[in-house]
Structure 1
């Protein structure tokens, strides 16, 4: 199941597809577009924008380094089981929940400026993502999204759960819970997903992020 949402960062709209997003975003790069006999990309009307490499928001590396220090090494210990090669290629700060059980079975899929971390839970699953990809809105199609405080927190009900998004360090992060049973209390209201958001603050930086932040590889 995939759910597409849009958020604004500094006057731009961020578009991300969750639950399978990593693969969707990777496949919408221009290099993966279908091509004609001459090798030129052939893009159907209405989806041309999906194959244009979108602009990116600026990461607040000073704030991210502060978050890394406040994490006190928790991010590294929680992310010890993640594929290190995937972590090292991420050019954005990764956020992990301070929950050893969730982190223990987590899997990461990274694409340089976008990542998704998934983990199974009893009767469902959770996912955490971060991206700097932005898509400017046409002037004749304004979109206003009300946020909560500085981090622009929003929560939405999905077909099978709850999805929360927020902005931190100039990066759009999402936290999602999906439940197999519609009556699962974790997905009936937003209490559980908000609890996850509250503890998703352990910062992890791989080689690419550390280099961008001036910390060295």
Structure 2
């Protein structure tokens, strides 16, 4: 058994299991094909497990690449500590469920809190499951949600559709505007991820008016946890 839970994750989540539960279970998010994730919105409330279509497919994770990236990130963080005596701050979930992240079987990506430029400490909740997770960061009139999954419920019907679903911009992202803000979808290590920004005042808040912030937050994502489990 090869464990893959970074020291960063231990520092991030070690205390979360002892804190009071502050929210209901994860949102009722219907998983879509890996290259075409659904876009969560403020209207959806936390609920039960995701809907399970007839035959979901578990996607293989490239753990070798994930481990290499985690080592590279650890080296960067060490250099930062040496130079500035302050490591990049990561979100610290306040809900008890967060302690189950050791059982999540895909790389758990989280943003560097400094990228949020928050004026007040936000509320951070993490809802991990073996095949997916949702990280929710709320504060300053802004909801940031990071969703990752290793499940796919369909395959592209033909090669042209497959190429269209894989199409990305130079940042390897698929970014789109929504009624409430911005969404960035991307694939990494074989898993699919979505970063969602939603503003309380989407028309008047410049953070949701364009894709600058959602790209900045997506670029700040680092591996905080995840394990292939037995034999991985």
Query: What's the TM-score, normalizing by structure 2?
Result: 0.65
- The reply to whether residue 195 of structure 1 matches residue 216 of structure 2 is yes
**Structure 2: segments with no counterpart, 5+ residues:** 1-26, 78-86
The equivalent residue for 1:28 is: 51
How far apart are residue 142 of structure 1 and its match? 6.0
Identify the range of structure 1 (60-69 vs 79-88) with the bigger mean alpha-carbon deviation.
79-88
Q: Spell out, residue by residue over 1:159-193, the C-alpha distance to the aligned partner (whole angstroms, 9 max, x if none).
A: 10000011111111111110011210011110110
For residues 68-119 of structure 1, the C-alpha deviation after alignment (integer angstroms, 9 at most, x for no partner) is 1122186997255465532112111101111157796321112211111001
Cα gap change, 1:77 to 1:98, in 2 (>3 Å): closer
Are residue 117 (structure 1) and residue 135 (structure 2) matched? yes
Counterpart of 2:208 in 1: which secondary structure? Answer: helix
Per the alignment, residue 74 of structure 2 pairs with 72
Gaps of 5+ in 1: 30-50
Q: Is the 8 A contact 2:181 2:209 kept in 1?
A: yes
State the shift of 1:152 in Å: 3.6
Counterpart-to-counterpart distance in 2, 1:148 and 1:180: 28
Correspondence for 1:18 among 34, 37, 40: 40
In the alignment, the residues of structure 2 paired with residue 76 and residue 88 of structure 1 have an alpha-carbon distance, to the nearest angstrom, of 21
Go from structure 1 to structure 2 and tell me whether the alpha carbon gap of 1:139 and 1:53 turns closer, same or farther (over 3 Å shift). closer
Is 71-80 or 180-189 further displaced after alignment? Answer: 71-80
Equivalent of residue 107 in structure 2, options 93, 108, 116: 93
Q: How does 1:43-62 map to 2 (within 5 A)?
A: 51-62=53-64
Structure-2 separation of matches of 1:3 and 1:54: 14
TM-score, normalising length: structure 1: 0.69
Q: CA–CA distance in 2 between the matches of 1:67 and 1:163?
A: 24
Q: 1: CA distance between counterparts of 2:209 and 2:88?
A: 32
Post-superposition shift, 1:18?
Answer: 2.5
Counterparts of 1:55 and 1:187, CA distance in 2: 33
Cα 1:97–1:138 change in 2 (3 A) is closer
Q: Secondary structure at the match of 1:162?
A: strand
Mapping of 1:130-149 within 5 angstroms?
130-137=148-155, 139=157, 143=161, 144-145=164-165, 146-149=167-170
Structure with a larger share of its residues in strand: 1
Q: Which residue of 2 aligns with 1:164?
A: 184
